[in-house]
Amino acid sequence: MFKLSKLLKNCVKVPTRPLLKSEGGCCVVLLQRNYSKDNKFNIKDDAFEGRPLYLDAQATTPMDPRVLDAMLPYLTNYYGNPHSRTHAYGWESEAAMEKARAQIANLIGADPKEIIFTSGATESNNISVKGVGRFYKEKKNHVITTQTEHKCVLDSCRALEGEGLDVTYLPVKSNGIIDLNELEKAITPKTSLVSVMTVNNEIGVIQPIAEIGAMCRAKKVFFHTDAAQAVGKIPLDVNKMNIDLMSISGHKIYGPKGVGALFVRRRPRVRVEAIQSGGGQERGLRSGTVPTPLVVGLGAACELAQQEMEFDHAWMEFLSKRLIDKIMTALPQGVGRFYKEKKNHVITTQTEHKCVLDSCRALEGEGLDVTYLPVKSNGIIDLNELEKAITPKTSLVSVMTVNNEIGVIQPIAEIGAMCRAKKVFFHTDAAQAVGKIPLDVNKMNIDLMSISGHKIYGPKGVGALFVRRRPRVRVEAIQSGGGQERGLRSGTVPTPLVVGLGAACELAQQEMEFDHAWMEFLSKRLIDKIMTALPQVIRNGDPEKTYPGCVNLSFAFVEGESLLMALKDIALSSGSACTSASLEPSYVLRAIGTDEDLAHSSIRFGIGRFTTIEEVDYTAEKCIKHVQRLREMSPLWEMVQEGIDIKSIQWSQH
């Protein structure tokens, strides 16, 4: 580090950090406090008058206004889902996501392909400790950590102990540093992972990370470090330090809350078992839509930290010494899983979102029985079949309110009443329904409800879960940590995001009636225009029991991917963004009996609050034009025009 004397000419005065300027017109500025002659801090901002000084930077840091500047375009104009591979909105967001990945990698000396986005260090630590421990447990069932780790690491280790793994909790010396000799003695041929925090969040000690890494590499043991309090504050290089997994937090380095990252080494490869089921994003390690604004903010925060680390370190060194000197001179020192033993049966449908289906498959792997109910050709569940499927061993029924691909609305109130009568808990994935159709958890007897922020014009990276208190639903947490959110979801709650989610819900409640009528009008206009002009267009799902904002059409004798490419100036998809990278036909359409050709020819039109009549008309006209053009190129369509029944033809195989 450079000498502070070069920066400060007179250390008796309180030094002032150079004022940080934001380039994007950000409305938030860093709070400046001046030390006045009457020994009081004056705050140069009326909005902050009367607020206390903030000296809790290990808990969280204020967002740097330059970080917010980087995020703002992705909170407003560039709102595409980064996993939508079929249109420019998705590509823009994906490019921003990959840039952020590179910024994080540059800070720690990693390859961008080794960076996995998470919701924060708590989740990164859970994935690392549980993921490695579980993957290697058959051959190596021993994990080592210290007694002074963050609670999420300690609780993750205790969870592994409950699964039959052995964990060694090493003591530290009186100065808080690990004893390397004790670590070496603790490592055995059965050890899969050593997890040691870089900088302790309570006392700030820095562990000998490079030495631990070298020891682990020599003994062929993976090394994870929780670097939430270290990244961007002290120099770190994952390759020089032989780190295999590293947890990173956004809000600890003047970035946004609700986002983090996990470095996972590719060579030598670290195999990790995912702890969350879903669409397989982030190399299959962390399913869920990556929140573009948040990862952009995290990337910007990492880039700024890399640029300013030297100054920041010297500045904090100066201030902490001043604080300590002054004080010490004056004072003397001084659910599925929860109920599985009694009820080991879960029921869901074949058309649920992939995260629900994958979660059910995970439960099957743990010995639970799962019934995947088929749906009728209109996409609606058969209530008689559901009733037959419920047994005394059934703990949960999970049915999506509005399907994300075909928009059908399930009979939630009837399902809820049936489950309540049979004393079975009822969960509904209402991500596509909350704020769009009227829902009442009490009238509908819903016990658990999933909510997503970015589906209702709110921020990405935040959601909510309704968990009924009476009758009480007991749920086993899947993430270990500080026990926030009634112990069900550990990790720092990202205040800006939950404020945004709350505001989005309030607006949805106020505008639901108008929004619904508007989308009903637009969807009818779109469908009428297309189906009047084009023959052999099939609407998938029940036309009467469907949320109007989701229109799924199959265009016979047209390849859906070809149509999407032809309509490249319109952001459309052929199904869920979570599976848009797959060339397989939609499993939802197959579940309702759609043949493979029609499933491949389907397009999903998503109409929203801000969609205009002009946009709908333009989409219909373009769609009609390109379907006609593509059909003219199809020999099958020519045969149909000549009156030949395609299905009656016996095709020879070569």
Answer yes or no: are the C-beta atoms of 469 and 114 closer than 8 Å.
no
Phi-psi region of 72 (alpha: psi -120 to 50; beta: other; left: phi over 0): alpha
Q: How is 78-142 classified by DSSP, letter by letter?
A: ----TT--SSHHHHHHHHHHHHHHHHHHHHHT--GGGEEEESSHHHHHHHHHHHHHHHTTTT--E
Tokens representing 267 are 């060579």
* C-alpha–C-alpha distance, residues 348 and 351, integer Å: 9
Question: For residue 295, what are the contacts with CB-CB under 8 A and spacing of at least 6?
Answer: 96, 97, 100, 101, 117, 259
Helices 88-108 and 292-330: angle between axes, nearest 10 degrees: 30
Tokens representing 632 are 């003219």
Q: How is 509-525 classified by DSSP, letter by letter?
A: HHHHHHHHHHHHHHHHH
Active site residue 578: yes
Q: Look at strands 191-195 and 245-249 and give their pairing.
A: unpaired
Question: By C-alpha distance, which of 175, 98, 154, 163 is closest to 133?
Answer: 163
Tokens representing 356 are 């629900």
Q: Is residue 208 reached through a cis peptide bond, with omega within 30 degrees of 0 on the bond before it?
A: no
Burial 145-172 (b: 16+ CB within 10 A, else e): bbebbbebbbbbbebbeeeebebbebeb
Phi-psi region of 219 (alpha: psi -120 to 50; beta: other; left: phi over 0): alpha
Provide the 8-state DSSP code for 14.
P
Answer yes or no: are the C-beta atoms of 402 and 437 closer than 8 Å.
yes
The residue whose two tokens read 């000084």 is 53
Q: Catalytic one among 26, 157, 355, 578?
A: 578
Phi-psi region of 379 (alpha: psi -120 to 50; beta: other; left: phi over 0): left
Tokens representing 539 are 């609407």
Phi-psi region of 462 (alpha: psi -120 to 50; beta: other; left: phi over 0): beta
Alpha-carbon Rg for the chain in angstroms: 28
Residues pairing with 247 in the sheet = 226, 262
Residue 414 phi, psi dihedral angles, 5° rounding:
-65, -40
Residue 646 phi, psi dihedral angles, 5° rounding:
-60, -40
Q: Terminal CA-to-CA distance of the chain, rounded, Å?
A: 72
Q: What is the signed CA dihedral for 433, 436, 441, 447, rounded to 10 degrees?
A: 10
- Where helices occur in 275-353 by DSSP H, the ranges are 292-330
* C-alpha–C-alpha distance, residues 579 and 566, integer Å: 21
Question: For residue 2, what are the contacts with CB-CB under 8 A and spacing of at least 6?
Answer: 310, 314
Answer yes or no: are the C-beta atoms of 90 and 577 closer than 8 Å.
yes
**Which residue type is seen at 496?**
P
Known catalytic residues are: 578
